[in-house]
Amino acid sequence: MTSRGILLFAHGARDPNWARPFEAAADRLRERVAGSAHAEVRLAFLEFMVPNLHEAGASLAHAGCQQVTVVPLFLGAGGHVRKDLPLLMTELAEKHPQVQWTLSRAVGETDLLIQALADSAWSLAQPD
C-alpha cells in the first residue's frame, strides 16, 4: 500500500498523438519515484481523453494513497487551472475524504520549465 500519489493533469485533445509527451512524462516520473519513494503516478485529462480527473483520483484513492498532489501540466494558469481545476479538486475531496488533496502550481510557471522552453527554442533555432 502506498501513501503518496502524484496526479498529472493535462488538457486533452481529440488527436491521440497529442498525449504522447504527457504519457512519456508520466512514465519518466514513475521511473523516478520507483527508485526513491513509494508513490503512485497517474495521468488524467480535462477533456476528450481518458481517464478524467475523477477516474484517476479514484484509482489513487483505491490504491491506498493518503496524500495526492495534483500537478497541472499546463504552460500557464489560465481559466482551466484557476477556475475549473479547483472545483474538480473540491469534488475529489468530497468523494474521497480519506485523501489529502493538494494542488500545485502549473508546471509552466516553474523556473525549471521556463528554462527548458528557452533551451529547446534555442536548440531548435540553430542551423543544421
Ranges 29-38, 96-105, 118-127: which has the least confidence = 29-38
- Supply 54's cell numbers: 475523477
- How is the chain split into domains, by residue range? 4-125
Q: What is the pLDDT of residues 54-93, one digit of tens each?
A: 999 999 999 999 999 999 999 988 778 889 999 999 999 9
Whether residue 100 contacts residue 67, with contact meaning beta carbons closer than 8 Å, is answered with yes
Q: What is the pLDDT of residues 8-44, one digit of tens each?
A: 999 999 999 999 999 999 999 999 998 766 799 999 9
Q: CATH for 4-125? A: 3.40.50.1400
Residue 1 pLDDT greater than 60, yes or no: no
This prediction has a pTM of 0.93
| DSSP sequence for 9-55 | EE---SSGGGGHHHHHHHHHHHHHHHHH--EEEEEEESSSSSSBHHH
3-state class of 77 per DSSP? coil
3-state class of 88 per DSSP? helix
Q: How far apart are the first and last CA of the chain?
A: 50
In this structure, the chain runs to a length of 128
